[in-house]
Amino acid sequence: MLRLEGTIANHDRVFDGGIEIDTSTGLIVHVGEKTGKSDIDVGSAIIFPGFGDIHIHARDDVSGAQLYKEDFATAGDAALQGGVTHFADMPNNPVAPLDDARYEAKQKLTTKSAVHVTLYAGIGPETDPLQRHVPYKAFMGPSVGDLFFASQEQLEGAIAKYRGCNVSFHCEDPVILQESKGEPTHERRRPARAEITATEFALYLIERYELQGKLCHYSTGDGLKRIAAAKAKGVRVTAEVTPHHLYFDDSMLTDENRLALQMNPPLRGPADRMAMIEGLRSGLLDYIATDHAPHTLEEKASGISGVPLLDTYGAFATWLMKEHSFTPQEISRVCSFQPGKFVKEFLPSGFGEGYGVVAPGYVGSLTILDAGSPWTVKREEMRTKCAWSPFEGVTFPGRVMATVVQGKVYATPFGKVIT
* CB of 61 or CB of 291, closer to Zn ion: 291
Count CB neighbours of 130 within 10 A: 18
Q: Are 286 and 338 in contact (CB under 8 A)?
A: yes
Q: Which residues of 250-269 are buried (b: 16+ CB within 10 A; e: fewer)?
A: beebeeeeebbbbbbbbbbe
* CB of 246 or CB of 321, closer to Zn ion: 246
* CB of 92 or CB of 197, closer to Zn ion: 92
* CB of 305 or CB of 338, closer to Zn ion: 305
Size of the site for Zn ion (CB under 5 A): 1
CB of residue 133 to Zn ion, shortest distance in Å:
22
Stretch that binds Zn ion, among 232-240, 244-252, 289-297, 356-364 (CB under 5 A): 289-297
Stretch that binds Zn ion, among 110-118, 201-209, 252-260, 290-298 (CB under 5 A): 290-298
H-helix segments, 114-220 = 152-159, 174-179, 186-189, 192-208
The Cα–Cα gap between 238 and 341 comes to 11
Stretch that binds Zn ion, among 181-189, 285-293, 308-316, 375-383 (CB under 5 A): 285-293
The Cα–Cα gap between 205 and 317 comes to 33
Stretch that binds Zn ion, among 17-25, 44-52, 159-167, 286-294 (CB under 5 A): 286-294
Stretch that binds Zn ion, among 134-142, 288-296, 376-384, 389-397 (CB under 5 A): 288-296
CB of residue 140 to Zn ion, shortest distance in Å:
12
Q: Binding to Zn ion by residue 291, rule CB under 5 A?
A: yes
* CB of 173 or CB of 291, closer to Zn ion: 291
CB of residue 253 to Zn ion, shortest distance in Å:
21
CB of residue 134 to Zn ion, shortest distance in Å:
17
The Cα–Cα gap between 13 and 296 comes to 41
Q: Are 79 and 310 in contact (CB under 8 A)?
A: yes
* CB of 5 or CB of 291, closer to Zn ion: 291
Q: What angle do CA 89, 94, 98 make, to 5 degrees?
A: 65
* CB of 71 or CB of 291, closer to Zn ion: 291
Using CB atoms, what's the residue nearest to Zn ion? 291
In 3D space, the residue among 29, 222, 80, 342 whose CA is nearest the CA of residue 3 turns out to be 29
CB of residue 55 to Zn ion, shortest distance in Å:
6
The Cα–Cα gap between 148 and 125 comes to 8
The Cα–Cα gap between 121 and 135 comes to 6
Q: Could you list the residues that contact Zn ion (CB under 5 A)?
A: 291
